[in-house]
A and B are shown apart, each in its own frame.
Chain A
Amino acid sequence: MNTTNELRKNIKSLIAEKKVDLFLGWEKGSLPLAATPLFVTAEDQADKAIFDVTCGNNLSIYFTKDKKQFEGRKVGIAVKGCDARSVVLNILEKQIKRENVVIVGLPCNGVLDRKKVLAKTDGREVLELIDNGDTVIVKGNGFDLQLNREEVLSSSCLACIYPDAQEYDFFIGEARGEVPNEGRLKEIEEFQTLSSLERWEQTRAEYEKCIRCYACRNVCPSCYCNVCFVDQNDPRWIGGTSEYTDTLIFHVIRNLHVAGRCVECGACQRACPMDINLLMLNRKVAMEVKDRFGDIAGLDINGKPAMSDFKEDEKQKFIMG
């Protein structure tokens, strides 16, 4: 609550002092499990702002969604650790200018995965949620459940190393510092121990589910092409069907397109209507990018995005001898 109050104060003063024309935050939405983006342009709206486990949206997406909207405006933005990295990438990728954005950093304790909550309630509708820090309480018709926070956090959060915003103008609340999150890659490591055929079968089963709604792409803060390659039809880059080779190639290429750019915010996975374990690919790519090029997306505002850079003496064992 403290953080929320401080955030509201901060927004108010930014607006009052005309340091920003618009502030992007979160407010309580119509559903108990998800906050909704809040666009603050006047001081009195600032009191709607909240910051809790339901604030999953990565608000940096609005910088690229409609660039015109932000032209000539100074924008304040509330960011979690992952969101801050997205903002940094937006700056590195010339989508916004650093001087035009006021970053209000927040320490993040993770955000909810609605699907995980519903799994706990056995599909029963949740009508109320109370964020108690280590635990969350969910209530519905005829039930009242106390859940450990970790049980219902987005899997991206469970693997997060940088919960605090690393790039900011103001930081609100108490920084959590780097979280080692040992075993964060356990799922991937285990998957890698499977045989090639087993991996293939699992991958195929996963991507056979895809209905090509592109929600993953559309919620992704790093996916901001005017026309996504998958939608281009002159020429058509890949087939448009839900056949698994088409869907898988779409996802593989999308992952390569966000290589060195994916901040692992998990928005894609939370948005997926088919519950595809999308992060399994994203995190593998991020892992390779870090291992091979030493790069973590959006961490260094003075750096160069991994895929726009190279060094002459990189590992190249994968090249035929």
Chain B
Amino acid sequence: MNTLFGEKKAEAKKIVFTSVDQYPEAPISLGTTLSNFTGDWRTFMPVVNEDKCVKCYICWKFCPEPAIYIKPDGYVAIDYDYCKGCGICANECPTNAITMEKEEK
């Protein structure tokens, strides 16, 4: 699976309770935020140009989500389910291999 969180992401699900009996006794968490796809916050989407990418991983380093992952071939890719489109990756990329493009929705 092409994502940073792999199986965890696949297993993540929304937890919604319809009866008080389903709630835990104390307010403790029951899952991760991986079920929350924040990709729809995005206006501009980062697009990676592998021809320019030098595999420095600066974009990976500075992604606040994190939504950038490293593929087996060493190039980076973006998990658009989570990427909010902040543009830090594009701004920090030393070779301008990432561009922010208006997203068709």
Q: Do A and B come from one complex?
A: no
